[in-house]
Amino acid sequence: MKYTVITGASSGIGYETALAFAARGKNLIVAARRTEELEKLQSKVANLNLDVDVVIRTVDLSVTANVYEFYESLQDYQIETWINNAGSGSFASVREQNLNKVTAMLHLNIEALTVLSSLYVRDYADVEGTQIINISSGGGYQIVGNSVAYCATKFYVSAFTEGLAQELKERGAAMQVKVLAPAATETEFIKSALDIKEFQYEGFVPKFHTAKEMAGFMLQLYDGEKVVGIVNGTTYDFELRDPIYPYVARTRS
């Protein structure tokens, strides 16, 4: 049995992506901090009468030790696809930002994603049919005011993922590596970033996608050969593209 790992699967893009992959018959390992929400996802899949296995892992990936423990806990599973969706945001000027919140964001958006990607590559780079999809943002390709630290983490995600894709291609590895860069998406993200209880996208955000629409874009990226799946920040069309950042091939002695 092969499994698809999805972090940050308790809501939003991760939740809808889990349902989309389950609908294709993919067994799932879903991870997030909220056990109750993961159990709801598990029940939802069962109620859809989908003949797939859903394994739950409750974990806070902003804690370094948990990242390694989480990966080690999956050694008995054969993992076909790894989706690093877990992430957090912080909306404030650099001068005024909450450094505790920013530190947790750095651990989650950068450290956890890098460690999990690296461990998965070590174990599966030469296995046919394997993929990593890391979730960046439109803010991983442009800097947005009052979101400088957040955008910087997503610039890292985009550059790391594109670079990893190029590196593996260069050495002829079987694994594909891809990055998804959403624009505004109707999820819990803004509520969490601003520490507010409610936020209405309709009537406040001029353009946005639903999490279900973004999961559909995820499948397009998964099915294709392109490295980057990005939402055009002007038209909000979804585009599949070759790597955007320049890459200098390694020199051989």
pLDDT tens, position by position, 120-170: 999 999 999 999 999 999 999 999 988 899 999 999 999 999 999 999 999
pLDDT, mean over the chain: 93
Q: What is the mean pLDDT of residues 102-120?
A: 97
What are the respective helix, strand and coil percentages of the chain, to the nearest 5? Answer: 40, 20, 40
Domains, the chain, in order of start with CATH, read 2-241 (3.40.50.720)
How many Å apart are CA 40 and CA 35, to the nearest integer?
9
70: Cα separation from own chain's centroid: 16
pLDDT band at 199 (very low <50, low <70, confident <90, very high): confident
Give how far Cα 110 sits from Cα of 11, 38, 129, Å. 20, 23, 25
Q: Which whole number is the average pLDDT over 78-85?
A: 98
Give the pLDDT confidence score for residue 200 in this predicted structure.
74
Q: Is the pLDDT of residue 192 over 80?
A: no
- Please give the pLDDT value at position 135: 97
